[in-house]
Structure 1
Amino acid sequence: MPSLITRLRRAILADVFRRGTTRRVEAAAPQARANANRRRQVLSVYNPEFSGLHVHDGNDGAWWCDRCGQQNLLKIQQGRHPFGQLSCARCNHIFNQIDVSTNVMCDKVIRDDFHPDRYLVPEGKACGVVCPGCGSTHLGVRMAGQDVPWYSTYDFSRIKCHCGRRGGGEWLNSWYCFCVGSCRDWHEDRVGAEGKAMEERLERRFQTH
């Protein structure tokens, strides 16, 4: 049977070991919690089974500045200004026909030769213009009674931008006209949408040089 001194020594050693282990666990706990939080955040953004899917960031697409290459995000807004103001965040370049975007902004628009203030747009699409002075976007007014099947007619003669420019007559020649398109490409496969836009940007550059 162990002596009293031996039992006391074992008890002291066990207590020292327990205290040291407890301190090590308490010291490691904050780092362990931080690592667990990081793992949860990574899993919420990336899933290897669906690597093209991303958490919805509140945006609906993007456009790329032809002057400096900056990516500028697009978000559909309620009201008469569907994309707010489209000026480059880096160089203040105003969006126009030389810039590329994802599908949320498309240019499937036909100019009406008989009415210079009007455009024909695929039925069900909203149509707008970008002011060349400040980059503000403006929705056109949908006209009733047009006779072209599967198309709607939009009028821009009543538009007056807050910067002073008007959308009617000869002024409209310098305004970029667009349709509000689909944002599914951005929401479902952002990487693919960016890649497609970059390919289009390169093709345009080759065609102009």
Structure 2
Amino acid sequence: DWVLRRACLDAVALNRGEHAPLTMAVNVSPMQVQRPGFVASIERVLAETGLAAELLEIEITEGVLMDSTDHAIDAIEGLRALGVNIALDDFGTGFSSLSYLKRLPIQKLKIDRSFIRDVTCDENDAAIVEGVITLAEKLGLTVLIEGVETREQFLYLRERHPTYLQGYYFARPIPLDALTDYLDRFDQHAVLRDLAGA
């Protein structure tokens, strides 16, 4: 609860800047989703902090479906009714049940970093990444690829997959004030120059 409230407050502060709108993603555990009053607690934090619901993204893992699947889906649907976005994190490392995937009211799939580490040299990893992206596109989902740590991975993925990338190649975890400075200095054209090899 403290992490969620702090993240929402930080998101409000970040969205006062010139880089708005910025979405804040917060991981929640399967236990939190199963807890009675979970959706109400999210709604309360949004009201207390003043963060617009559409600027919050709750990240869940496939483990959230292990116990009381119907309850978990109801909770996720409750969040969607508030306007909160939902991402399925670490996709491909759990049960990856396609029957659950078609039932979940999610907007984003996050491909786990374990498939990215050797994506440039392992045909199986490359095939899995391509397959998940194709599946997600057919389901109308956004894709985010986690664990991009090298220029080689970045160029390989960016050339083949027009999707979102995340990882240490772009930045490591930093305090809020350093993040604000980073955003102020960030040159959107730098990524394009990097892609072009400039």
TM-score where L is the length of structure 1: 0.27
In terms of fraction of residues, the more helix-rich structure is: 2
Higher radius of gyration, 1 or 2: 1
Write 1 or 2 for the structure with the bigger share of strand: 1
